[in-house]
């Protein structure tokens, strides 16, 4: 049987822990170490964030490797109405209203689900808003880009699911109307958010949507995506 620790050994161990704790506090007060940079498990929070970011980048790269690379095809017949959007989700609220409630802070809505107050931060350009009318709900992969990438062959039901995707992929974002309209139907080879701090997350989300919905990527688009990922 393993030996039980003696009372004297346990006492010495407790004393040692106490001494180390006091020493750490003194060093913190002197600015030698940063206790605030440690997470609850004793690890470095910044290092953990970097590891998480690297993991996200690796996943995005793996997904991109699985996406078909094809020359862009723009079949005739596109019409935005072929992607029914802002469908009713629940309790009479539509998709736009649901995203505004999800992406804002302290959002209050009236009896018809319309956001009447709240604060929203547009991750594309870092702008903040208190009027929901200043926001658009952006399709991460624009509807016309989806059409060019394979959605032209879908049923209307599939296109509606894509246009109102709240769960399968990070497709819908509440952003400034100006940034959304600047983007238009561009892919990352032609447009990226003004906020460079968001580029890594943007391309990761773009790739996830294309991967989840089995949409293609054209060669210029692939090059742009890989260039951003290489710097993440």
DSSP state string for 78-132: --GGGS--S-EEETTEEHHHHHHHHHSEEEEE-TTS-EEEEEEEETTTTEEES-G
Query: What average pLDDT score do residues 183-204 get?
Result: 97
Residues 29 and 59 in one domain: no
pLDDT number for residue 53: 60
Residues 31 and 86 in one domain: no
Would you say residue 110 lies in a domain? yes
Distance of CA 208 to the CA centre of its chain: 10
Query: What average pLDDT score do residues 70-85 get?
Result: 95
Kindly tell me if the per-residue pLDDT of 28 is higher than 80: no
Residues 180 and 91 in one domain: yes
Query: What average pLDDT score do residues 31-48 get?
Result: 42
Kindly tell me if the per-residue pLDDT of 137 is higher than 60: yes
Residues 26 and 133 in one domain: no
pLDDT number for residue 169: 97
Kindly tell me if the per-residue pLDDT of 205 is higher than 80: yes
Query: What average pLDDT score do residues 64-82 get?
Result: 95
Would you say residue 45 lies in a domain? no
pLDDT-derived band at 55 (thresholds 50, 70, 90) equals: confident
For residue 119, what are the β-bridge partners?
105
pLDDT number for residue 12: 35
pLDDT number for residue 214: 98
Residues 212 and 140 in one domain: yes
Residues 33 and 70 in one domain: no
Residues 112 and 225 in one domain: yes
Domain that holds residue 222: 52-230
- What is the token pair recorded at 166? 């709240």
Would you say residue 43 lies in a domain? no
pLDDT-derived band at 60 (thresholds 50, 70, 90) equals: very high
Residues 128 and 161 in one domain: yes
Residues 31 and 93 in one domain: no
Residues 62 and 158 in one domain: yes
Signed CA dihedral, 136, 159, 225, 231: sign only? positive
Residues 197 and 109 in one domain: yes
- The whole-model pTM stands at 0.78
Kindly tell me if the per-residue pLDDT of 158 is higher than 80: yes
Would you say residue 44 lies in a domain? no
Residues 72 and 139 in one domain: yes
pLDDT number for residue 21: 42
pLDDT-derived band at 19 (thresholds 50, 70, 90) equals: very low
Query: What average pLDDT score do residues 210-224 get?
Result: 98
> What are the start-end ranges of the E strands in 111-205?
115-122, 127-129, 135-139, 172-176
For the chain, the domain total comes to 2
In the chain, % of residues over pLDDT 70: 77
Query: What average pLDDT score do residues 126-145 get?
Result: 97
């Amino acid at each position: 049987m393993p030996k039980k620790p003696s009372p004297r050994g346990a006492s010495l161990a407790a004393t040692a822990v106490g001494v180390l704790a006091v020493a750490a506090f003194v060093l913190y007060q002197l600015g030698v170490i940063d206790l605030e940079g440690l997470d609850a498990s004793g690890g470095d929070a910044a290092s953990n964030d970097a590891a998480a970011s690297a993991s996200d980048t690796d996943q995005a790269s793996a997904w991109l490797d699985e996406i078909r690379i094809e020359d862009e095809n723009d079949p005739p017949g596109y019409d935005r109405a072929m992607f029914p959007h802002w469908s009713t989700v629940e309790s009479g609220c539509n998709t736009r209203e649901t995203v505004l409630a999800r992406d804002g802070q302290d959002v209050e809505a009236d009896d018809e689900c319309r956001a009447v107050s709240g604060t929203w931060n547009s991750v594309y350009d870092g702008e903040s808003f208190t009027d929901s009318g200043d926001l658009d709900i952006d399709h991460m992969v624009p509807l016309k880009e989806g059409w060019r990438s394979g959605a032209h062959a879908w049923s209307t039901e599939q296109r509606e699911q894509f246009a109102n995707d709240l769960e399968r992929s990070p497709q819908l974002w509440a952003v400034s109307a100006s940034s959304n309209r600047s983007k238009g139907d561009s892919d990352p080879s032609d447009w990226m958010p003004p906020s460079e701090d968001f580029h890594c997350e943007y391309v990761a989300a773009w790739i996830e949507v294309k991967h989840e919905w089995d949409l293609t990527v054209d060669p210029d688009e692939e090059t742009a995506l890989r260039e951003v990922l290489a710097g993440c």
